[in-house]
Amino acid sequence: MKNFVNNFYKNQALFYKIFLFIVTTVLIVYLLPKGGKFKYEITKGKPWQYENLYAPFDFAILKSDAEIVKEKLQINTNHIPYYTVNKNMVELVRSKVPEQLGKTFTDSILKRKRGQLSGFIDKTLDNIYEYGVLLEGKPADANKLVYLKRGNEAFEVNYDKLLLQDEIRPYLNVQIDKSNLSSLKPELLEFFYNIIKPNVTYDSGFTQKELDSKLSSISYTRGSIERGTIIISKGEIVEGETLDILTSLKSEYESQVWSDSSYNWILFGYSILVCLALLMLLLFIRRNRRDIFDNNVKVSFIFFNILLMVFLTTLVVKFEAKYLYIVPLCILPLTLKAFFDSRLGLFAHVITVLILGFVVPNSYEYMFLQIIAGIVTILTVSELYKRANLFISVGQITFIYILVYFAFTIIQEGNIQDLNSEMFLTFILGGLATLFVQPLIYIYEKLFGLVSDMSLLELSDTNSKLLKELAEKAPGTFHHSLNVANLAEAAANEIGANAMLARVGALYHDIGKMENSTYFSENQTSSVNSHDELSPAESAEVIINHVIHGIEIARKNNLPDRVIDFIRTHHGTSLVYFFYMKEKEMNDKVSTLDFRYPGPIPFSKETAILMMCDSVEAASKSLKEPTTAKIDDFVERIINKQMDEAQFLNANITFKEIQLIKKILKQKLKNIFHLRVEYPE
């Protein structure tokens, strides 16, 4: 048991990676669609590249989306609305006739023309209420049919048979003028206005119910294919009816209800493929970026971003697949490039796109487009901390999306009339969503404790609190750090390293000298040397401790670990040579361990650059009457000594790159000392 605990403790980083690998695989497989995957790629307008395809089972031919939309539109257009007739309203109107006659007409008129009036009123009311009086307005098409419901019965009539309230006056005018009662027109109009009420209302509930019933009865298929029927022959162009049949077969195949056994096999297959994809990513990181592989937080960060993109894409596909390209997938390579490097960003992007191929429709088109967009992202986005660069790159990415979609449409349709304008809007929205990468990087920095070039840009400000304190307490060291920063930035640019990181590391590498600033020659302003009162061993201890003090100050001020690495490594395991030789004069048996920096040695190109630049800049102060030859020999001697001491063994820096750095340092020092080229006499 004890051995198991010890082994677990020793290998806990490895066990964590295995756990992370399994959890990520399970979550991705859970998000993937669980139906069978159609094994043929269907490309409209291209020849069928496979063998003759026969129907593996009976299936129906699905109608296209355009056909379904057309049918629904036709049903909506031809649907007859329902109106309800209130039979009681007519009886109520007629019951008010005697009373209203007495109120409207004088007794003398009623005595002379009661019978004539009653006959005209009855006939007119019969005509008005033959179909009914509408409460609502009628549509523009007066000849359209409607259903009138009287109780449980319904019959068709034209809209123009129904009267609106504002049509009653013209109708009454005509009827009164044609009768012998035109002299009583004002009284008759008043009479009818007081008794006529609408008795027909639009039955929206029943109308919608009937419409829904018709829409739900739409058949989504047209015809069927029997098992064994040949669907397409090898070399035949995929188009027209054949394309519809292939699409129907694919849909039927992927929507089949699988047995428990088949379902488990599908899960097993997905698990193998996802495991392989993630394993390739881990092996790539282990081989090319061992520092990232050994850092569980960074590995977790990479896996989290991949999982996030799979989740967002799956969510959008389940909601509405046509909005697929709104998901800003290029945020993934952008983010990984900001924190790590371009190669890792592109490799992780390709792995993610391969996994998403199981999720999205038209997987080949999607994968081609996203991989090209990812490559463009990696190639175009440089110095992400510059806002203009990000906007330009987002514009280029959006243009690539549109261009590739345009090309695929031409290939598939053979014309540009079928271009979908909504897709262009989707690409633009996806491009705008990519701009969210900047606040996202800030969030990631806080959550995962990582540092990006944008944070480095903030740290490079010499007006920051810590650098101002360094300038006040150790002005000579501050000036030295500025010179080293300029040299390191130039050297990093020359070999393609992270120039911003090298510059920031150089600015902060000597902050530990604030503790005992007068013990360092660049801060001594008088002839009094603080080391005169100390033994060589004590002096060496003070010098060496500036690294420890620097780490403590950096952690107190929350500097990122990537910057603290420069403080730890800028002297590597080199010897405090001056005081060592001074002690050796007094004691031949002196140990070098007491005069050697604790390390570690540089483990990146940037930290190696700082070691070279720091040593060269500091030692250059001792040059008297510098010449081109002296500077060349001086730089060669210092850096070669560091190489002989194996200070760059872990730095992943090549001999060629070191030679380029030497060249840059020689040029910069000649500029500093204002040397001209020495011409032969």
Residue 628 is part of which domain span? Answer: 460-672
Enumerate residue ranges in the chain where pLDDT < 50: 257, 679
C-alpha span between 72 and 49 (Å, rounded): 36
Identify the residue whose tokens are 């990582």.
Answer: 450
pLDDT of residue 4: 53
Q: Identify whether residues 388 and 501 lie together within a single domain.
A: no
DSSP reduced 3-state for 60 = strand
User: What is the spatial distance between Cα 431 and Cα 513, in angstroms, rounded to a whole number?
Assistant: 48
For the chain, report the end-to-end CA distance as a whole number of angstroms.
Answer: 82
**What 3-state DSSP class applies to 198?**
coil
Q: Which among 451, 190, 472 has a CA at the least distance from the CA of 340?
A: 451
379 and 467 in a single domain? The answer is: no
DSSP 3-state assignment of 2? helix
Alpha carbons 360 and 33: distance in angstroms, whole number: 9
- Tell me whether residue 472 is exposed, middle or buried, using C-beta atoms within 10 angstroms of its C-beta: 0 to 12, 13 to 18, 19 or more: exposed
What's the pTM value of the predicted model, to 2 decimals?
Answer: 0.63
Residue 218, SS3 per DSSP: coil
d(CA 310, CA 317): 11
Number of domains in the chain: 3
Same domain, residue pair 561 and 666: yes
Q: What sign has the CA pseudo-torsion 126, 128, 131, 134?
A: negative
Q: What is the CATH number of the domain that holds 547?
A: 1.10.3210
- Give the model's pLDDT for residue 92: 83
Give whole-number Cα distances, 124 to 89, 92, 178, 596, in Å.
Answer: 16, 16, 12, 120
pLDDT score at 321:
77
Residue 285 lies in a domain: yes
* Inside any domain, residue 475: yes
Which residues, in sequence order, are CB contacts of 260 under 8 Å at separation 6+? none
Which pLDDT belongs to residue 216?
83
pLDDT given for residue 507 in this prediction = 93
What is the DSSP code (8-state) at residue 166? G
Residues 421 and 517 in one domain: no
Q: Are 470 and 600 contained in the same domain?
A: yes
Does residue 381 lie in a domain region? yes
Domain stop point among 202, 236, 271: 202
Q: Over the range 446-457, which residues count as b (16 or more CB within 10 Å of their CB) and which as e?
A: eeeebbbbbbbb
- End of a domain among 384, 419, 448? 448
Together in a domain, 26 and 103 = no
604 and 504 within one domain = yes
Query: Based on the domain organization, do 484 and 531 belong to the same domain?
Result: yes
In a domain? residue 316 = yes
Task: Identify whether 244 is part of a domain.
Answer: no
N residues, the chain: 681
Q: What is the model's pLDDT at position 679? A: 47
Q: How many CA atoms lie within 13 A of 259 on its CB side?
A: 2
> Which two structure tokens, joined as six digits, stand for 498?
């992270």
CA distances from 566 to 463, 485, 505, 602, 617 (A): 20, 12, 5, 8, 16
State whether 542 and 667 are in the same domain: yes
Instruction: Please write down the HEC assignment for all residues of 282-301.
Output: HHHHHHHCHHHHCCHHHHHH
Neighbour-count burial for 489-528, b at 16+ CB within 10 Å, e otherwise: bbbbebbebbbbbbbbbbbbbbbbbbbbbbbbebbeeeee
Whether residue 653 sits in one domain with residue 558: yes
357 shares its domain with 487: no
Q: Has residue 509 been placed in a domain?
A: yes
According to the model, what pLDDT value does residue 276 have?
A: 94
Q: Measure the CA angle with vertex 532, ends 529 and 534; round to 5°.
A: 125
- Strands 153-158 and 145-150, by their bridges, are antiparallel
Burial class (CB in 10 A: 0-12, 13-18, 19+), 51: exposed
Please check whether residue 299 lies inside any domain of the structure.
Answer: yes
Is the same domain home to 114 and 16? no
Q: Which of 448, 479, 501 is the last residue of a domain?
A: 448
Assess if residue 612 is contained within a domain. yes
Closest CA to 38 of 290, 305, 362: 362
